[in-house]
Structure 1
Amino acid sequence: MRTFCFLTAFTFLSMFSFAQNEKYPFPPKDSLLKALQTEKIDSNRVNILIFLSRAYHFENAEKAYSYGQEGLRLAQKINYTKGQISCGVSLSSLLIEMNQHGKAIELLLKTNEISETFGNPVLQARVFMALGLAYGKLDYSKGLEYMLKSRDLIHQYHIPENTIPINLMIGFMYKDLGELDSALAYLHKNYQSSLRYSIRSVAATALAMGQVYDKMGNIPLAKSYFQSVLSFNNNHRLPISGEIYLEMGKNYWKSNQRDSAIYFAEKALAETQKHKSYTLIHQTAQLLFQAYEKTDARLALKYHIMASAAKDSLYNLDKFKEIGKYTFLEIIRQEHLRETQSQQALERSQHVQYVGITIFILTIIMVSVVLYKRQVNPTILEWIGVVSLLLLFEFLNIILEPSITKLSNRSPIITLLCLVTLASIVSPIHHFAETRVKTWVKGIRIKHHLNPNLDDGVNASEE
């Protein structure tokens, strides 16, 4: 799994979707819960559920997922496109954290289809970035491709840096790729820009830079960045406290400062147990096991058991897997249901129109018969006959065209040949029928010419 800092940066990105306030990235949970009890079923309720999902992200992943799931269902129900996109991005971050990258990718691909039709470049850039994160663990090159797509959109539409920290995300990607120089280049860019707008982004960037320098083997420089993040945390209480303490503990352990390593590892363990961050619990307990392995067998055993339990929780998470599975299946089911209903509505509309056209043509034919019996003007009969024939044969073309397209498998050459064949059959029949109508009308004209008093006779006889 990616480092917790990577997911934290993604969460910071999600927070920027609705609020830019540095001190309060989203409203307090108590206020949100009260608002949820009174808010009616509309887009505001969806936004509250999104806020709650993000607020519980580090405290209770199960609640966070539940609120995100409810928000997505409601957004689908009321056709709130922006809410569907935001919920899809939030839920995908939780799926990534649960190591379910495949489900996250499938959910985001559906979200991306919606986003492409919505036409909001900021939301589209966020979806691309989320896809980059989801693909990153499975296929780094694909992940980087989506990251760069997001960057291109940000540059094209001049999206502010405090809305989407793209340089930070690409820096994380290059860090995981092992391309440390490229990672540092992007992280330095983000660090400089973050100083103007977000202390949280500064902290996340400094932490990543420390990790990069640690990988490079520059322990003192890595330590200086970790200490700067620690000072940020003391003043602003960041949601990545456990990660900060763990990195400090690792750094002191590599510097052979055992007591300091234990001190920070224990602080990290207390912080991560509070939020049930199994990845960090496993890493922290493993570090404490190494620290006590040769000096205190009892504590070493305790932390070894704790590390094993965290590892089991990390890779089993049966309840979360079921939540993810059924949420995704529900999303797919609802999508297919909407598509089926839309297709059925279209087919019903077409059938009604076909029936209407058929009734109209039959009505014209019946009217022409009635008018013939009433001995009306032959010119009117000729016009009605020609129009009815034209409608009839064009209607046949409309009915047969879908079958021809299906038969030809949408091949232009085969479709053209079928249409030419149909025209060669229908046109002579149409010409023959039209000629017969005109001949019939001409006979009526001759009959009227020879017996101009026919109408009067007919009327007199009727009287």
Structure 2
Amino acid sequence: MRKTVVFLISFLLTFQLFFSQSKKEIDSLNAISFEIRLAKAVQLTDNYLQNAKNAQKISYKLGEAESFSNLSLIYYYQGKFEKDLYYSLLAIHIYEAIGNKEKLALEYGELGYRMKKRNMAKALYYMQKAKNISEKNNIQKPLLSIYNNYGYLKELQKEQDSALYYYKKGLKIKERIKDSLGIPYSLNNIALIYIQKKQFKAAEILLNRSLRIRYKLNDQIGIAENNFYLGDLNFNQNSFLQAITYYNKALEIAKKNGYLDLISNCHEIIAQTQEHLGNQKEALVNFKLFKKYSDSLINKDTNSKVAELDIKFETTKKEKLLLQKEAESKQKTTYLIGLVLVALLIALLGFLIYRQQKFKNKQQEQEFELKTAISQIETQNKLQEQRLNISRDLHDNIGSQLTFIISSVDNVKYAFDIDNKKLDDKLTNISSFAKETIVELRDTIWAMNSNEITFEDLESRIHNFIEKAKEAKDEIQFSFAIAADVKMKKLTSVEGMNMYRTIQEAVNNAIKYAQATTIAIAINKTETQIEITIQDNGIGFDQDTIVKGNGLRNMQKRMEDIGGQFNIQSATFGTKVTLLLNA
């Protein structure tokens, strides 16, 4: 029986988009999604590295360890396993040093689970350490994932009864705290053991219960995973045609959302199922696709690098123990020397008190600066996590729903012979509007995940916008010029997005209402300001009589929000919009 990799649970909801894609087949999945994933991965890596450096400067060990832990997870989902192990071990070393048992257990558990395909012996070693730390110190939170993941390692070793024992322990905790996200994973794991034991009815009940929960949560990863497991259930009962149906449902969702590991597993099991059905051609096609996807996820050099880093970590721990023993042997001698030093310390006491009083104010200032720096680091981490969550929700939920609308409208148009031209035009308009909304969504996600935006970034976005406008209005001549000394000017993400939307609105107004034949965009710099002009040769309008609509008011509001100015001049020979921003 095939079993999908369970790391598609929990944290992949946030970081699933960080896999790098190299093969032509994989690149064709979702070009827009991959571009956003790559930008996020680079941005997050830089942010957490900077956070770690800032924490080191002020000796904020917890912030440093959490930054290393986040870095290890990012590198894992990028397939950079040696860096994953390196930063995870750094985090473990710090958690041990500061005595944070909960974080230490979680980190050992995550590392052990991620090691399962690379080194099972080490995976079990790290997972057992995580379990022992949590149970010994009665820490419940890490056990939510540790019992489940430890059970999976036992299952991989064909120890079904042990796996079932730990799966049920994990489910019991999740049901007690009503963990709606975690319960389906435990239900699925127990069901898969029942399949292995050929208790098919019991397995089907659990899988369907899990699927109902996931539909309530609109958990696309979970829905895909459950369809895969229902395929396994039918496969093991020799219902190969029904199994193919479930596997194809899982594959469709996985491709739509870019879940590469699940895509690889689907192609592999579909190839096996087609072979059982005697469809050798389909089996071969799916097996080739499986090889392409699996090759893109495997780093052949990983095992040697993992072993090397692991040896370094263990050697460091042994050296530390040796140093401790040496320190103990010298303790008696140090004690005698200490007695002599006491007399000197008493003599110095008066001087130290004087210095303490003298520098008291300075120390208070330093403590305040330290607290402020810690607060800034924690706030930055929280803001970054919120950005990731919002971006993920926008992309996974709204993006997928818009894609579904486009697909549904197109299917209606091609599936039915529509004679009503108005209806056909309306469906076309809906599809076009949804596609434009996806582009707008992409721009919004780009801005949200950028701490800074340069005018050079805006230049490429404006060029793309103009090219699309040319396709829609080929009778209009567009021109765009930007001064060289403006390109590297940095804006905040809010300033950059407001500037881009205002330019976009001005061009759209000229296209819709001005009856213009030329539209020119220019960005220049004066001594104190950056000036952006959008000018057309259209029919213009009377500024004294025209009622400002939402478009003009929105442009003015956007510029005021970022401390800029908005001016518009219009006459019978054309309209000129001027945007001013402090240089």
Pairwise TM-score range, normalised by the shorter structure: 0.5 to 0.7
Deviation at 1:143, TM superposition (A): 2.7
Query: Given the alignment, which residue of 218, 235, 240 partners 1:237?
Result: 218
- For the residue of structure 2 that corresponds to 1:178, the secondary structure is coil
Query: Given the alignment, which residue of 69, 73, 92 partners 2:49?
Result: 73
Amino acid of the residue matched to residue 176 of structure 1? L
Query: Given the alignment, which residue of 165, 177, 185 partners 1:204?
Result: 185
> In 2, Cα distance between the equivalents of 1:187 and 1:411?
44
Q: How does 1:252-267 map to 2 (within 5 A)?
A: 252-267=234-249
Distance 1:309 1:164, change over 3 A: same
Residue in structure 1 matched with residue 270 of structure 2 by the alignment:
288
Residue in structure 1 matched with residue 407 of structure 2 by the alignment:
none
Q: How does 1:72-221 map to 2 (within 5 A)?
A: 72-79=48-55, 81-96=61-76, 101-161=81-141, 164-195=144-175, 196-221=177-202
Residue in structure 2 matched with residue 449 of structure 1 by the alignment:
none
Is residue 313 from structure 1 mapped to residue 293 from structure 2 by the alignment? Answer: no
Q: How does 1:419-430 map to 2 (within 5 A)?
A: none
> In 1, Cα distance between the equivalents of 2:124 and 2:284?
41
* Identity score, percent: 20
Distance 1:82 1:271, change over 3 A: farther
> In 1, Cα distance between the equivalents of 2:258 and 2:134?
35
RMSD: 3.9
Which structure has the bigger radius of gyration? 1
Residue in structure 2 matched with residue 11 of structure 1 by the alignment:
11
- For the residue of structure 2 that corresponds to 1:165, the secondary structure is helix
- CA-to-aligned-CA distance 1:387-446 (integer Å, 9 cap, x gap): xxxxxxxxxxxxxxxxxxxxxx99989xx9xxxxxxxxxxxxxxxxxxxxxxxxxxxxxx
Amino acid of the residue matched to residue 47 of structure 2? G
Distance 1:194 1:74, change over 3 A: same
Runs of 4+ in 1 over 4 A off after TM superposition: 2-5, 55-64, 94-102, 293-301, 409-413
> In 2, Cα distance between the equivalents of 1:3 and 1:73?
35
Deviation at 1:86, TM superposition (A): 3.1
> In 2, Cα distance between the equivalents of 1:54 and 1:314?
15
> In 2, Cα distance between the equivalents of 1:72 and 1:94?
10
Deviation at 1:78, TM superposition (A): 1.3
What is the aligned residue count? Answer: 289
Amino acid of the residue matched to residue 105 of structure 1? L
Equivalent pair of 2:106/2:142 in contact (CA under 8 Å)? no
Q: TM-score, normalised on structure 2?
A: 0.43
Equivalent pair of 1:206/1:226 in contact (CA under 8 Å)? yes
> In 2, Cα distance between the equivalents of 1:4 and 1:297?
23
Equivalent pair of 1:92/1:105 in contact (CA under 8 Å)? yes
Equivalent pair of 1:69/1:87 in contact (CA under 8 Å)? no
Amino acid of the residue matched to residue 46 of structure 2? E
> In 2, Cα distance between the equivalents of 1:56 and 1:67?
13
Deviation at 1:191, TM superposition (A): 0.8
> In 2, Cα distance between the equivalents of 1:215 and 1:64?
40
Equivalent pair of 2:9/2:222 in contact (CA under 8 Å)? no
> In 2, Cα distance between the equivalents of 1:255 and 1:241?
21
Amino acid of the residue matched to residue 158 of structure 2? G
Deviation at 1:295, TM superposition (A): 6.0
Equivalent pair of 1:226/1:248 in contact (CA under 8 Å)? yes
Equivalent pair of 2:52/2:65 in contact (CA under 8 Å)? no
Unaligned runs of 5+ in 1: 16-52, 333-408, 417-463
- CA-to-aligned-CA distance 1:246-292 (integer Å, 9 cap, x gap): 11112212222233212111111112212333332222123333444
Deviation at 1:73, TM superposition (A): 0.9
> In 2, Cα distance between the equivalents of 1:259 and 1:67?
45
Amino acid of the residue matched to residue 274 of structure 1? K
Distance 1:150 1:255, change over 3 A: same
Equivalent pair of 1:162/1:197 in contact (CA under 8 Å)? no
Unaligned runs of 5+ in 2: 20-32, 313-325, 334-583
Pick the structure with more helix per residue: 1
Q: TM-score, normalised on structure 1?
A: 0.53
Amino acid of the residue matched to residue 237 of structure 1? N
Equivalent pair of 1:54/1:64 in contact (CA under 8 Å)? no
